[in-house]
């Protein structure tokens, strides 16, 4: 479903070179829910942004549904992203002047789906994340956890094949974090959507089917929280 091949990335600004990712390889199957774990600065967001097609890597290939998104031109990539990729941000990124329901429907507005179909789909998703009663309120009238539920519903409305979530519980207290992770786990089970969840918390990562750990831009693969140290570990950094 998702295959990352020999990805390396170096940020260049001015004369400054910042190597961030080093020869990353991994695969995620359709319907899997995996964690990308690592401490601050290890390269998690960079890896996620590359996989979501938000930027191009210095080297390597990223296949989603057998298509190499690294090679895609801008227009084709924009369309591919709209159809296949969902994103959940740490800071929710909702539009304050739109209601909860309108926020969830927004990706479909760009796909010229009729208002009645949009409404039906958004209300079903809001029910699925447990905030149907908030549909006609504005984001500022919701708690952080409720706002994140809205952004989860919004990410699902186009029925993407994969959803990338960057620290989706980073702004939330422990109890709300548990609720949001449970929602994601249930959606993954029910809808078979593939999820890649970035986190720096082992307790969050351990609830996923597999954990990929980044350390200083190098990847170490772990399964079910039991470390399986790869050949790269201990190599030159």
Ligand X SMILES: Nc1ncnc2c1ncn2[C@@H]1O[C@H](COP(=O)(O)OP(=O)(O)OP(=O)(O)O)[C@@H](O)[C@H]1O
The residue ranges that bind Mg ion (CB under 5 A) are 45
CB of 45 to ligand X, least distance (A): 3
Residue 13 engages ligand X in binding (rule: CB under 6 A):
yes
Distance between CA atoms of 153 and 150, rounded to whole angstroms? 5
Could you tell me the smallest distance in angstroms from the CB atom of residue 45 to Mg ion? 3
Output the six-digit token pair for 20: 């961030």
Choose, by CB under 6 A, the member of 4, 28, 35, 45 that binds ligand X: 45
Answer yes or no whether residue 193 interacts with ligand X by CB under 6 A: no
Q: Which does 46 bind (CB under 5 to 8 A by kind): ligand X, Mg ion, none?
A: ligand X
Distances (CA, A) of 229 to 71, 215, 233: 31, 12, 6
| Token pair listed for 102 | 């309108």
Residues that bind ligand X (rule: CB under 6 A) add up to a total of: 13
Q: Does 168 bind ligand X (CB under 6 A)?
A: no
**Residue 18 beta carbon to ligand X: minimum distance, rounded to whole angstroms:** 4
The entry of Mg ion, ligand X, none that residue 13 binds, CB within 5 to 8 Å by partner kind: ligand X
* Shortest reach from residue 65's CB to Mg ion, in Å: 25
Q: How far is the CB of 212 from Mg ion (least distance, A)?
A: 14
24, 33, 43, 212: residue in contact with ligand X (rule CB under 6 A): 43
Distances (CA, A) of 227 to 39, 42, 199, 223, 233: 16, 18, 17, 7, 11
Maximum distance among all alpha carbons in the chain?
Answer: 57
Give 38-74 as a DSSP string.
Answer: --TTSSHHHHHHHHTTSS--SEEEEEETTEETTT--H
Among 20, 34, 85, 187, binds ligand X (CB under 6 A): 20
* 214/15 Cα distance (integer angstroms): 26
Q: Which does 18 bind (CB under 5 to 8 A by kind): ligand X, Mg ion, none?
A: ligand X
- What are 141's strand-pairing partners? none
């Amino acid at each position: 479903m998702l295959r990352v091949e020999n990805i390396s990335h170096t940020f260049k600004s001015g004369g400054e070179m910042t190597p961030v990712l080093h020869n990353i390889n991994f695969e995620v199957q359709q319907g899997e829910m995996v964690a990308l774990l690592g401490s601050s600065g290890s390269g998690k967001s960079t890896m996620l942004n590359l996989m979501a097609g938000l930027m191009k890597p210095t080297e390597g290939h990223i296949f989603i549904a057998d298509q190499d998104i690294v090679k895609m031109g801008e227009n084709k990539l924009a369309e591919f992203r709209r159809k296949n990729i969902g994103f959940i941000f740490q800071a929710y990124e909702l539009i304050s002047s739109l209601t909860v329901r309108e926020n969830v429907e927004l990706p479909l507005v760009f796909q010229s789906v009729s208002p009645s179909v949009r409404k039906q789909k958004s209300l079903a998703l809001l029910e699925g994340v447990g905030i149907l009663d908030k549909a006609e309120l504005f984001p500022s009238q919701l708690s952080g956890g409720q706002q994140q539920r809205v952004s989860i519903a919004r990410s699902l409305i186009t029925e993407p094949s994969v959803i990338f979530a960057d620290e989706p519980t980073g702004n939330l207290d422990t109890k709300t974090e548990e609720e949001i992770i449970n929602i994601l786990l249930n959606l993954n089970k029910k809808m078979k959507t593939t999820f890649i969840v970035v986190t720096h918390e082992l307790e969050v990562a351990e609830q996923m089917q597999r954990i990929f750990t980044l350390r200083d831009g190098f990847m170490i693969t772990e399964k079910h929280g039991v470390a399986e140290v790869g050949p790269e570990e201990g190599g030159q950094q």
